[in-house]
Chain A
Amino acid sequence: MVYRGCVVKLENDFAVVLTSTMEYLKVVKKDGLEEGKEIIFVQEDIYRRSKVSIRTIGLAAAMFLMMFISMTWLNPWSTTKILANTAAVVSIDINPSVELEINQAQEVLKVIPINEDGKKVVSEKLLGMAIDEAVLAIVDSAKTLNYLTEERNMVLISTTMTAEKVSLDGKEIVGRIEQKLEEKLDIQEIQVAYLEGKKEDVKKARAQHVSIGKYGVLKKAEADGEQITVEEIKELKVQQILDKGVGKLNVKELKKKIQDDEINDDQIENKVTDEKEKKENHPPGQEAAPGLGKAPGLQKAPGLQKAPGQIKKEASAENQNSENRKQEDKDKEKAVEEETSKKAQGKTKDQKEKSKDEENAKDVNSKEWKIWLEKQKQKNKN
């Protein structure tokens, strides 16, 4: 239908037209429209309000979005699904190797013993436990089965994030585990080595029937140029791995009591210095020199005597940390330092000879101390 009409009024987004049939109509605006002009137009030119309903479209979009959000976030089904998915894999090697799959809430979903010994230390009740409780249970049963003794007290823990969008931190998990072990474990001393695995390694490790922790050690060793095969590492016990220094692991000692027997074991001393190297990012030559240089001789040289002192320092500092984390400031550090150095001095036979070395070492040590303590603080914060 063709309309003929006179433009009577121009508005912002339409024009009012009086047609030849005395109808008042709104038409869409086009170029050159002026009041008083006669125009010819067709049905399609008639202005409809629905044309400019950007607001309604926006409203509809907002409603849709709300529905979508409420469906995805409030639906309990999806939340259970998130919790049912494996978020991380934690592997524990003593000699029994066990892998624990945990979800985002750090609850155990699946327990996989890697070797024969592993089967002995796991049980059904581990499922659904918090990860730190589960590890404690495993370590406990390993102890009762005599896998873990005063001499063989190494535990290798590795964490691997498998899910992509997970707000889990491997270090945090290990921190919790360590804390738990420290609190509950009725064993004098336990050494924990920690490795963070990569997602790809999980599959490879499983294909070779080796735990992720051991696989991580193997990879590290290979990176360092050591010759070792998968079969070899499978056979090795964690204690042996650490004793041999394969892969140079970070070791942390957890002790039940502050006062402990002196450790005169040559190997452990080596390990401790080794550990120091790692922890403090210290060039090996500087610090390890007195310990390492004199250790092979197995004499009661000042360096050797100093080494247990260092262990002490660490141990006591650790206790201090756990006791008063917040109060740690520089004054405290010094006090601790002095205290421990006194203890160390008390145990030495020839103090004169030692004092020189001590002072030299102190300068170096105090710097390292601060760095180390800061690291500890950060860890505790986490």
Chain B
Amino acid sequence: MARLLNFLKKDSLTNRLKKIKDGDSQEREIFIEEYIPFIIKTISNTTNRYVESENSEEYSVGLEAFNEAIDKYEGSRGTFISFAELVIKSRVTDCLRRASRHMVSVPISQYDDEQEQQIEAQLKTEDFTVAFELKDEMRAFEEQLKAFDITFSDLVNEAPKHVDTRVNSIQIAKFVATHQELKDELFRKKTLPGTKITKELNVTLKMLKRSRKFIIAAVLILDSDLELLKNYIYEIEGGVADGIQGMRGKA
């Protein structure tokens, strides 16, 4: 979307680039921020992998390359987008090549052989076990969903699209997860204790019915050890905390 808008006001793009080159650092920040999706897409296309987190090496290399592209761009080099894409691609591939060479040249590093091996072995095992555990957790999560006759594709299709509905649903899920007797009832009956929830929270049965699967999934996540997913839930709650509290106050 950001790209599209920029495409429409192409004239201002060159103006902005000129402004940035003249030393407007604030404008530069905004500009880069706007183009982050483009940077991620370009990196992802180059490596044919998803960028794993904001802290990954490729990501920072990509950002640097984009920054470099802003400085080096001239009107005669074609469109800025294609130029930037080229720069990012070449930098990222350079980075990947360097990384692979580095792996081969382990013995020539500044560490002792033994030290190096030790560190690496440690890192590897840790990484491996973490990955394995996560995978296992995910499997468990899926199994639990199956017990409620829910699949991931159901969730993709039926999860509430609207942000407010989603926030409400998560609110309900959190309520269920914190009340042991409700949770027990859910696991026993394999259905949400509708009447109790509607009594406690100001929600309708209809809404409960509609986002039943989503709520159950959220409850299961809160009940599990999936820290990352739990974090997502807390994040989303925190983001609209004021609104929800305001709602409670009214109730």
Interface positions, chain B 133-163, Cβ under 8 Å from A, are 133-135, 137-139, 141-142, 152-153, 155-156, 159, 163
In the complex the two chains form, what is the Cα distance from A6 to B226 in whole Å? Answer: 10
Interface positions, chain B 163-199, Cβ under 8 Å from A, are 163, 166, 170
Known: A8-B152, A9-B142, A22-B236. Is A35-B44 also a contact (CB below 8 A)?
no
Known: A18-B232, A22-B232, A34-B135. Is A40-B170 also a contact (CB below 8 A)?
no
B166 closest partner in A (C-beta) = A22
Contact (Cβ within 8 A) B52 A21: no
Contact (Cβ within 8 A) B228 A32: no
Contact (Cβ within 8 A) A16 B156: yes
In the complex the two chains form, what is the Cα distance from A44 to B40 in whole Å? Answer: 11
User: Is A52's beta carbon under 8 Å from chain B?
Assistant: no
B213 closest partner in A (C-beta) = A24
Contact (Cβ within 8 A) A24 B159: yes
* Residues of chain A contacted by B233 (CB below 8 angstroms): 22
In the complex the two chains form, what is the Cα distance from A39 to B53 in whole Å? Answer: 6
Task: Say which residue of A23, A30, A32 sits within 8 Å of B159 (CB atoms).
Answer: A23
Task: Say which residue of A6, A23, A33, A44 sits within 8 Å of B228 (CB atoms).
Answer: A6
* Residues of chain A contacted by B44 (CB below 8 angstroms): 30, 41-42, 45
Interface positions, chain B 1-44, Cβ under 8 Å from A, are 1, 36-37, 40-41, 44
Contact (Cβ within 8 A) B48 A2: no
Known: A30-B50, A37-B134, A39-B52. Is A20-B152 also a contact (CB below 8 A)?
no
- Interface size for B (C-beta < 8 A) is 40
In the complex the two chains form, what is the Cα distance from A20 to B59 in whole Å? Answer: 19
In the complex the two chains form, what is the Cα distance from A326 to B134 in whole Å? Answer: 87
In the complex the two chains form, what is the Cα distance from A177 to B30 in whole Å? Answer: 92
The B contact surface, by secondary structure, is helix
User: Is B131's beta carbon under 8 Å from chain A?
Assistant: yes
In the complex the two chains form, what is the Cα distance from A41 to B153 in whole Å? Answer: 19
Known: A2-B37, A9-B138, A20-B236. Is A38-B49 also a contact (CB below 8 A)?
no
User: Is A43's beta carbon under 8 Å from chain B?
Assistant: yes
User: Is A207's beta carbon under 8 Å from chain B?
Assistant: no
* Residues of chain A contacted by B142 (CB below 8 angstroms): 8-9
* Residues of chain A contacted by B159 (CB below 8 angstroms): 22-24
Contact (Cβ within 8 A) A21 B236: yes
In the complex the two chains form, what is the Cα distance from A195 to B207 in whole Å? Answer: 92
Contact (Cβ within 8 A) B236 A30: no
Known: A8-B141, A20-B236. Is A36-B40 also a contact (CB below 8 A)?
no
Known: A24-B155, A30-B44. Is A41-B50 also a contact (CB below 8 A)?
yes
Q: List 25 A-B contacts (CB under 8 A).
A: A6-B232, A8-B141, A8-B152, A18-B232, A22-B159, A22-B233, A22-B236, A23-B166, A24-B159, A32-B49, A32-B50, A33-B50, A36-B138, A37-B52, A37-B131, A38-B52, A38-B53, A38-B228, A39-B50, A39-B52, A40-B54, A41-B40, A41-B44, A42-B40, A42-B41
Task: Please give the residue numbers on chain B whose beta carbons come within 8 Å of chain A beta carbons, in ascending order.
Answer: 1, 36-37, 40-41, 44, 47-54, 59, 131, 133-135, 137-139, 141-142, 152-153, 155-156, 159, 163, 166, 170, 218, 226, 228-229, 232-233, 235-236
The 9 closest A-B pairs by CB, nearest first: A36-B134, A39-B50, A35-B138, A24-B155, A16-B152, A42-B37, A40-B51, A24-B156, A9-B152
